Amino acid sequence: MSELEEIKKRKLNELMKKSQYPDKPIEVTDKNFDSIIHKYPLILIDCWAVWCAPCRMIAPMIEELAKKYKGKIVFGKLDVNENMAIAKRFDIMAIPNLLIFKKGKLVDRIVGVQPMPILESRLKEYLGKS
């Protein structure tokens, strides 16, 4: 295979991989949680509830980050009222509670509403690490 063909193949693989990443938050539940955190190398899960005003404040930021980091980070939303097993498993006592998983392992947690630059800087910490 020529060098040009190898470059084309690599670029095509990168594009295919990016197209598999959603550009909006995906729904995470007790049932699909484990498969989701292992499917994507880096995922942030927003643990929230309908009645939570701070959760509604952070929701547009999560939507914006999902678009901005498509192909690099996946964003999920888990309603803690409907998915109590996961809330209990990760000791979620306050919401919003953002769980960051890398290769299926919990690597960080952000509790409460934080400004966009803080969220981005925390996420960027995990983009370059393998």
The reply to whether 52 belongs to the active site is yes
Please say if the pLDDT value at position 130 is more than 70: no
The reply to whether 55 belongs to the active site is yes
- Residue 21: pLDDT band by 50, 70, 90 thresholds? confident
Domain range list for the chain: 22-127
130 vs 46 pLDDT, higher one: 46
CATH 3.40.30.10, applies to 22-127: yes
Q: Which of 43, 55, 62, 80 is catalytic?
A: 55
Q: Which of 52, 66, 74, 87 is catalytic?
A: 52
- Give residue 124's pLDDT: 93
- Residue 13: pLDDT band by 50, 70, 90 thresholds? low
- Residue 66: pLDDT band by 50, 70, 90 thresholds? very high
DSSP the chain: --HHHHHHHHHHHHHHHHHTS-SSPEE--TTTHHHHHHHSSEEEEEEE-TT-HHHHHHHHHHHHHHHHTTTT-EEEEEETTT-HHHHHHTT--SSSEEEEEETTEEEEEEES---HHHHHHHHHHHHS--
- Give residue 10's pLDDT: 72
